Structure 1
């Protein structure tokens, strides 16, 4: 059963409490969300390796296929058996086992992911977990280790959470700590049910162009993409894909907030969406 919103919010609150001491509340999301991103990528990659292992009857063969595609640049060009490649040091089980220098390890891990996957450059590698201020670490390793333990409670694979789990996490953290300071978050998300209804009313057809001028984390674009797969897609190699005779949607979005822009880009990668998303102010 997918992670429900109540469990998600409780989980994120526990994560925020872990770093409550060293980090001001408005900045909690700056450290929590990149790790949620990384865990999501790692769990999806694990799911895809498991699918290939089942298909070929061997995990070793599956790993060799993926490694061969990585070396030949097939995955980086979005033509591989997996959506993206996660290097060994960035896979969540290895992160959990890291006992020393965790801040530097996490920073190296997200940068390694960005190097292997050009589509994620400038998306996942923006945070320095080893950063200091006035000569002191902003988030010491012991806090990061506890945060990793908390985030390890739930899987974030394709079948474990709703498609826009990243946007929902951001929305909760933004709202929670803006309210805590007596402020308005200033950002509002389209409820999932409304986005699903809008996609059904639109009933996208192959080749249709869809533009969201304030796309946030890409939730509405995702729903339109999934609706097209529901009505015109077919199972291919364990994934729901459009057959060759159907053109994909031409998805476009613009977002003013760099954090939600990054999430929209990552969501597009995770969901195999050919989406053109730009950072900027639609009103200018």
Structure 2
């Protein structure tokens, strides 16, 4: 698919999203639009796969199959291959056509049938391998909500309008790479994030930042056994890693239920098989779901300085994720709780790259002790990368990326990169944005570990210790711009010239005032 065709698909999908824009909040209409796109995707996958199974049969169009034995066989194969099953009457196009039928009765009222279809998709997986991946997946699509219409008829009208317009778009699943529709889905998620204010950070990391993290954890690798994100949001970071290396298994955890559903949809839309991903719901710090596993790549954008139970819960003192550091992260700043959790889950041959607020670099007390232990005892921190302010939706604070490894050599240094200055980003509306060349410079500098004037510095561990394990980037990367020298003699001569010119002007004004017989103003 050409770039123009991809943009056309994105534009078409965003146009449908705008059918609800302005009527309900961004968070609400995101759930409906993304949910219906996902339903259409599942439907088209089912239709194509069923037709493959029907090749050579008397009836070769799944929509026309009525034989119960044939349908049972298609269902069995679909659950193994796709992980779910839709009956012919439940296909997206069939339901959209019914809703759009020109009738005088109420046969085009499809809300109850649509609700039943979405429930059946989930129920079809019960007792199968994919049950956990589809359980309650459509729970955020409330077809009875008065937000989309005060009456049943009004709600039916808007839902039918969305389905009919979506049905006109050919996803071309048979012809195109799976990432085409997946990328269009990501585009919509980004557009929703732009309008979601502070809540956007819960489900979306801007693509340039995702790209940096993905490239950092895959340096020198074309294949990754497993990638993990403990605060996975919509799953965009996990999927981004798969663009840099072949990934066998995806793992993630997400606290927000709606976002957890979105992550699972996003995985399936990118054609990640249900056996290849494991996305769990719950608070990662309080109820970690993958503690027994170690991951070759770890990427994350945890909530900045979030509250957690911390030292209010004595059980954390014996938790292996935190206990070796001797101190717990403050209960009002969970940054180091997330960091040490991720480091605990990192495989010996793995790399971790995560976004944090700058405070993790220099704050003292418990955080200072944990930072010192990570550097001095574990030799874990590999890079500190400063990003521009205002590149995340919902917050304008400057942020940094920390890169950690478990098997660094004893004399390994730490590279500091300051990518926050004006020449390393552009303005896009109210946000700052990293360009491709900015991303590539960060990754290239990290990979080559070069000191570049006013941009990067390779610091020895001795230098770090001399700075009392403070990692504040300006201590290592000097971005000071000397002001131009002032020629005082030239300035003095210029002032003399101005004084002479002023006297001449005053003389002229005095003469004009005398002619007009008025008092001079000086």
TM-score (norm 2): 0.41
Note if contact 1:22-1:138 (Cα within 8 Å) is conserved in structure 2. Answer: no
Note if contact 1:103-1:129 (Cα within 8 Å) is conserved in structure 2. Answer: yes
Match of 2:276 in 1: 274
Give me the CA root mean square deviation. 3.6
Match of 1:244 in 2: none
Question: Could you say what secondary structure the match of 2:196 adopts?
Answer: helix
Separation (CA, whole Å) in 2 of partners of 1:51 and 1:2: 27
Match of 2:72 in 1: 67
Match of 2:136 in 1: 122
Offset, 1:9: 4.3
Aligned residues: 252
Question: Could you say what secondary structure the match of 2:85 adopts?
Answer: coil
Match of 1:168 in 2: 187
Mapping 1:1-284, distance limit 5 Å: 1=1, 6-20=7-21, 22-53=23-54, 56-58=55-57, 60=59, 67-70=72-75, 73=76, 75-76=78-79, 79-80=80-81, 82-99=82-99, 100-117=108-125, 118=131, 119-132=133-146, 136-137=151-152, 140-156=155-171, 157=173, 159=176, 161-175=180-194, 177-178=195-196, 185-187=200-202, 188-191=204-207, 194=211, 197=215, 201=219, 202-205=221-224, 208-222=225-239, 224=241, 227-228=245-246, 249-269=248-268, 270-272=271-273, 273-284=275-286
Q: Deviations over 1:172-214 (max 9, x none)?
A: 2232x336xxx67335325288277467534325xx3321223
Separation (CA, whole Å) in 2 of partners of 1:253 and 1:282: 9
- Where in structure 2 are there 5+ consecutive unaligned residues? 63-68, 100-107, 126-130, 287-522
Match of 2:301 in 1: none
Q: Deviations over 1:141-167 (max 9, x none)?
A: 111121112212323336263435444
Q: Deviations over 1:114-156 (max 9, x none)?
A: 1112331211244231334797449521111211122123233
Question: Could you say what secondary structure the match of 2:201 adopts?
Answer: coil
Question: Could you say what secondary structure the match of 2:18 adopts?
Answer: helix
Report runs of 4+ in structure 1 exceeding 6 Å deviation.
none
Offset, 1:222: 3.8
Note if contact 1:199-1:223 (Cα within 8 Å) is conserved in structure 2. Answer: no
Change (3 A) 1:66 1:212: farther
Change (3 A) 1:58 1:224: farther
Change (3 A) 1:103 1:263: same
Match of 2:334 in 1: none
- Where in structure 1 are there 5+ consecutive unaligned residues? 230-248
Name the structure, 1 or 2, with higher relative contact order (CA <8 Å, separation 6+).
1
Computing the radius of gyration from Cα coordinates, the structure with the larger value is 2
TM-score (norm 1): 0.71
Offset, 1:110: 0.7
